[in-house]
Amino acid sequence: MRRAVIAYLTLVLTAGAGHTDHTLDLVIYGATGEVGSHVMQEALDRGHRVTAVSRNPAQLAMQHPNLSVVKGDLLDTASVTETVTGQDVVILSVRGVIGDSGSPESALQFIAAETLVDVLFQQGDRAPRLIHVGGSGSLEVEPGVLFAAKLPKILLPKDLEVEILGQILALEFYRKVDDVKWTYITPPKNFTNGPRTGVFRIGGDRALEDDRGRTRVSRTDFAVALVDEAEQARHVRQRFAVAY
Ligand SMILES: NC(=O)c1ccc[n+]([C@@H]2O[C@H](COP(=O)([O-])OP(=O)(O)OC[C@H]3O[C@@H](n4cnc5c(N)ncnc54)[C@H](OP(=O)(O)O)[C@@H]3O)[C@@H](O)[C@H]2O)c1
């Protein structure tokens, strides 16, 4: 009963959330990626100005009056500083593993978190907010047990394991940061290609399951939740989860 009431309230709170009169300047790292491309589309559909960053801008053929495509690399701190200066929100939706140490510190998600926090800290009150697309491995499936601990390591590609652990490390890192406005938005285990419904639940550290025990959301609805957060800043210095 309690769960049903909470589910109802979160559905009511999230359904149709969104549009604002205030046009934002958003930078998206990972706009060429599977998740970031949906975030870019959602932001443009709501009338925001988007700067899409890619190491190879020719990959982004899309044209839109509110879209600028710039070359940039998260491993180049000077280019990050130049790109994010004067923006309202930076969205980080990237993946990769740097080098072959095999350590979680080599996950791009963790390296980029550290770089952006350093850059944004330098910008003081004028710094944009940061929204980091996190990993479901960081969600609890039982009290004190992360989903990552339940994964069959033997079947996981090594780089994916590094990224999963790197995402957990990134969240631990953010949780110690109190002088930059970060948010860690967490997808469920499964992303789908489903439609944009605008109806989903918002949770905290615990993996959200639907009535059939599935943990999933479409990339398009995840993008709705992310752009809602860009507009409304409801989870500053928090992690939150999105799922049906
Ligand atoms: N269930 C889950 O937990 C789950 C599932 C899927 C994804 N995710 C998370 O969602 C996020 C996005 O994943 P995705 O599947 O959309 O990734 P993707 O499709 O593989 O795209 C990766 C993106 O990273 C960018 N990138 C890589 N290295 C870069 C660098 N040095 N500088 C700047 N950009 C760089 C790439 O941009 P360019 O090549 O254009 O430079 C590309 O757009 C990741 O954080 C991932 O961990 C979570």
3-16, pLDDT tens digit by residue?
Answer: 544 444 444 344 44
Q: What is the mean pLDDT of residues 59-79?
A: 97
Determine the pLDDT at residue 198. Answer: 97
d(Cα 242, Cα 222) in Å, to the nearest integer? 7
Which residues does a 6 A CB cutoff place in the pocket of ligand 1? 29-30, 32-36, 54-56, 59, 73-75, 93-96, 108-109, 133, 135-136, 163, 167, 187, 189, 191
Determine the pLDDT at residue 96. Answer: 98
Q: Are 87 and 61 in contact (CB under 8 A)?
A: no
Domain boundaries, the chain: 2-243
Relative to the CA of 134, which ligand 1 atom is closest?
Answer: 45
Q: What is the mean pLDDT of residues 184-193?
A: 96
What is the pLDDT confidence band of residue 165, given thresholds at 50, 70 and 90?
very high
Determine the pLDDT at residue 176. Answer: 98
CB neighbour class for 214 (10 Å; exposed up to 12, middle 13-18, buried from 19): middle
Strands of the chain, DSSP E: 25-29, 49-54, 67-71, 89-92, 129-133, 140-142, 145-146, 182-186, 190-192, 201-203, 216-218, 238-243
d(Cα 25, Cα 86) in Å, to the nearest integer? 8
- Using CA positions, which residue lies closest to atom 36 of ligand 1? 30
Q: Are 64 and 88 in contact (CB under 8 A)?
A: no
For 182, other C-beta atoms within 10 Å of its C-beta total 26
Determine the pLDDT at residue 20. Answer: 58
Given a cut of 70, is residue 2 above it in pLDDT?
Answer: no
CATH superfamily of this structure's domain 2-243 = NAD(P)-binding Rossmann-like Domain (3.40.50.720)
% of the chain surpassing 90 pLDDT: 89
d(Cα 64, Cα 59) in Å, to the nearest integer? 15
Least confident of 63-72, 83-92, 208-217: 208-217
Phi, psi of 149 (to 5 degrees): -70, -15
Over the chain, what is the mean pLDDT?
93
Q: What is the mean pLDDT of residues 195-203?
A: 97
Ligand 1 mean position, distance from CA 30 (Å): 5
Ligand 1 mean position, distance from CA 159 (Å): 13
Q: What is the mean pLDDT of residues 212-232?
A: 97
Q: Which of 94, 136, 214 to mutate to test the pocket of ligand 1 (most atoms within 8 A of CB)?
A: 94
Given a cut of 50, is residue 1 above it in pLDDT?
Answer: no
Q: What is the mean pLDDT of residues 123-133?
A: 98
Q: What is the mean pLDDT of residues 200-219?
A: 95
One-letter amino acid of 217: V
Q: What is the mean pLDDT of residues 63-87?
A: 98
- pTM of the complete model beyond 0.85: yes
Q: Which of 91, 95, 141, 189 to mutate to test the pocket of ligand 1 (most atoms within 8 A of CB)?
A: 95
% of the chain surpassing 70 pLDDT: 91
Radius of gyration over every alpha carbon of the chain, rounded to an integer in angstroms: 17
Relative to the CA of 136, which ligand 1 atom is closest?
Answer: 3
